[in-house]
Amino acid sequence: MVSLLDVARAAHVSKMTVSRVLNHPDQVSPEIIADVQQVIAELGYVQNRAGRALANNRHYNIAFILLDDINEIEPYYAHLLMHLTDELRHAGYTLEMRHDRNFDLTNVDGFLVSGARGSDFELLQSLTVPVVIYGTEPGIPSVDIDNKAGTQLATNALLDAGYARLIYLGIDMSEPFAINREVGYRDAMLTAGRTTEIYHLPNDEHAAQAFLADLNLCGNTGIVAATDRLGLGALRAGRSQGLTVPTDLGIVGFDGIYIHQLAELPLTTIQQPLATIAQHMVALLMKQLAGETVTSVYVVPELLHGATTA
Amino acid sequence: MVSLLDVARAAHVSKMTVSRVLNHPDQVSPEIIADVQQVIAELGYVQNRAGRALANNRHYNIAFILLDDINEIEPYYAHLLMHLTDELRHAGYTLEMRHDRNFDLTNVDGFLVSGARGSDFELLQSLTVPVVIYGTEPGIPSVDIDNKAGTQLATNALLDAGYARLIYLGIDMSEPFAINREVGYRDAMLTAGRTTEIYHLPNDEHAAQAFLADLNLCGNTGIVAATDRLGLGALRAGRSQGLTVPTDLGIVGFDGIYIHQLAELPLTTIQQPLATIAQHMVALLMKQLAGETVTSVYVVPELLHGATTA
DNA sequence: TTGTACGCGTTATCAT
DNA sequence: ATGATAACGCGTACAA
């Protein structure tokens, strides 16, 4: 491997001059910068991260910790990961994948965390390196979509479409996002002077389908689903009961990365803007690495119009 | 951060003794090993990878390069990634995520590659560090499922079920896996003395559904689908034509990580054994790092019985 | 503006 | 079986 010294010799300067060209070009004369850069290109020199890490006490490496169970990983995590990889690379950092609770900070400059639950938060809060979580937790810098605004959007879309009955299909409320999504529906309904109708199910399309089959939907009904999985189940329940979507039955899902496209009809959904989320996550991390204090960011999602709303 | 020196001082030994306890415990007396390990535990010492990298000219870091387009990433890549992360960690390595064609080998000991296409292979072959690809390419150590065996399994399952007509729904043949899957169907049909019926479509459930709607399926038909997406489309086409699955129409998909579960009926499918694949990929990489030469590995997939076959 | 000396944490080598 | 020393590649502090 070609080292700084190799470049220095080839360019007839000292190591430090080459180092400065890379890190403090303002301190080097223009001609030498040009020379050195040419040699760097010719030799295909790439900085050795280990040497840099040792000298700077930085590792240029961020651990992305995906704590969700491997069998419950939703497809959109792959997208979040890709975007985070891009953003970190752009910022000069590397993304190291982890999916255990190894918060060892000897070889990383910070953590990006997804899928953290109750007991993880204390741990994260006690860390001495920057942390950004995907989700919501007071006291920890985080990026999340505004889940409440999302279901408000969904609910209002169905209200505007004029459905007589407007049901919320929710999931287990142990996670903040589930609570906020339900609150969004409640608020929108309250504001519209409408009566809420809320059910909680496991996040499973078969469960939703079975549940709605028993509920006897009778047309002119809108469903705000807490997830696309539930929305998918609602779509199937409606169709198997002979309802026409979206005329008799309107559905808005939530997440919008993969499932909504696989449905029999493309689901109208509230889409997670994962590229934007990744940008904010990395930006918050970089600010912390620069010594700034940061506050959490909430991104307002958008309604992605499919075929399950008019 | 606590360093080797800190441990050495606390244990009243030299740095080298601590290093040996970690790397060559056979060269250290049992009592000292015990002492040092205790101190390591007390102080929470973790090896600094940068120091190690510099001393050993190894980085203990493997780049996983996911070359597929971000919009075409199938959900099962997330699973492969998780398993690779586990396997590498178990082998003492770190997984660095990349998804560009950055094959810079200054900071990495090897590459795991998925989604490589034509021109990538020459590049990969010219690298001086170990490479293992997920897929098939002569001259490059690789791990892949035996796609041909997979569709043979699928075809035989439908032959055994006694369907009168047995169609293959294939995709664009530009990728080796697509060719092999088709060959598996052909072979199984030939062996059974049956006539083949093959169609090529884009890998899209809507396309498959539309295509089969025109084909006028008339019952007692089996479909070997090259992917679960196509299998999903076949299922929908059959149901919308009033066929009973699996009585009138039998379907076997391929991949079996996510889509097959989301279908209206759980798809019978040929499942990618991703944990096994990850194990082999990392094993092949480690062997190369140890200086051995390796040959590619093919894993025979299994039929996962769903509700679309009897 | 450019160069020299030293140290970051670790391990191989050589010495004891 | 254990310790001293040098070296890996880079950047900071200081010197010129």
What are the domain boundaries of chain A?
4-56, 61-144+274-300, 147-272
Is residue A199 classed exposed, middle or buried when 0-12, 13-18 and 19+ CB atoms within 10 A define those classes? Answer: middle
Please report, in angstroms and rounded to a whole number, the separation of the first and last CA atoms in chain B. Answer: 61
Radius of gyration of chain B from its Cα atoms, rounded to whole angstroms: 25
From A261, A273, A247, select the one nearest B203 (Cα to Cα).
A261
pLDDT tens-digit readout, B171-192: 999 889 999 999 999 999 999 9
The pLDDT of residue B229 is: 95
Q: Under an 8 A CB cutoff, do B70 and A64 touch?
A: no
Amino acid at site A244 = T
Residue A23: exposed, middle, or buried by beta-carbon count in 10 A (0-12, 13-18, 19+)? exposed
Amino acid A174: pLDDT: 87
pLDDT computed for residue B164 by the predictor: 95
**Nearest-CA neighbor of A150 among A137, A168, A163?**
A168
pLDDT at res. B106: 86
The pLDDT of residue B225:
98
Q: Using DSSP bridges, classify how beta strands B302-304 and B268-271 pair: parallel, antiparallel or unpaired.
A: antiparallel
Q: Which residues contact B104 (CB under 8 A, 6 or more apart)?
A: A46
Helices B49-56 and A49-56 sit at what angle, rounded to 10 degrees?
130
Verify whether the Cβ–Cβ distance A95 to B96 is below 8 Å: yes
Instruction: Report the distance separating Cα A7 and Cα A20, nearest Å.
Output: 12
Alpha-carbon gap, residue A277 to A131, rounded angstroms: 15
Asked whether the predicted pLDDT for residue A47 surpasses 90, the reply is: yes
Q: How many helices (H) and strands (E) does chain A have?
A: 12, 12
> Percent of chain B at pLDDT above 70?
100
pLDDT band at B30 (very low <50, low <70, confident <90, very high): very high
Question: In this complex, which residue's CA is closest to the C1' atom of nucleotide C3?
Answer: A14
At residue A211, the pLDDT reads 96
Which pLDDT score, from 0 to 100, does residue B95 have? 96
**Which range among A70-84, A89-103, B132-146, B236-250 shows the weakest confidence by mean pLDDT?**
A70-84
pLDDT of residue A74 exceeding 80, the answer is no
User: Is there contact between B55 and strand D, defined as CB under 7 Å from any strand atom?
Assistant: yes
| Beta-bridge partners for A142 | A133
* A61-144+274-300 is classed CATH 3.40.50.2300: yes
Verify if strand D has an atom below 7 Å from the CB of A27. no
What pLDDT shows up at residue A299?
Answer: 97
Using CB atoms, which residue from B49, B83, B262 is nearest to A262? B262
Compute the nearest-CA separation of B195 from chain A (Å).
32
Compute the radius of gyration of chain A from its Cα atoms: 25
**At residue B88, does pLDDT exceed 90?**
yes
Q: Does domain B147-272 have CATH number 3.40.50.2300?
A: yes
More confident position, B48 or A99: B48
Assess whether B4 (CB) lies less than 7 A from strand C.
yes
CA distance to partner chain B, nearest, from residue A149 (Å): 26
Sorting pLDDT into bands at 50, 70 and 90, what band is B104? confident
CA A42 centroid distance within chain: 39
Across residues A89-114, what is the average pLDDT? 92
pLDDT in tens, A149-195: 999 999 999 999 999 999 999 999 988 999 999 999 999 999 999 99
For residues A12, A16, A17, A21, the Cα torsion angle rounded to the nearest 10 degrees is 130
* Pick among A68, A69, A70, A274 to test the B interface (most B CBs inside 10 A): A70
Contacts of B83 in chain A (CB under 8 A): 70
Q: What percent of chain B has pLDDT over 90?
A: 86
Q: What is the pLDDT of residue A295?
A: 95
Residue located via tokens 């489309």: B233
Buried b (16+ CB within 10 A) or exposed e, B79-97: bbbbbbbbbbbeeebbbbb
Start-to-end CA distance of chain A, whole Å, equals: 61
Check for a shared fold between A61-144+274-300 and A147-272. Answer: yes
Minimum mean pLDDT range among A264-273, A281-290, B62-71, B269-278: B62-71
As assigned by CATH, the class of the A4-56 domain is mainly alpha
Can you read off the two tokens belonging to residue B256? 């079996």
pLDDT at residue B198 greater than cutoff 80: yes
- List protein-proximal bases of chain D (any atom < 7 A from a CB): 1-5, 7-13
Any atom of strand D under 7 A from CB of A19? Answer: yes
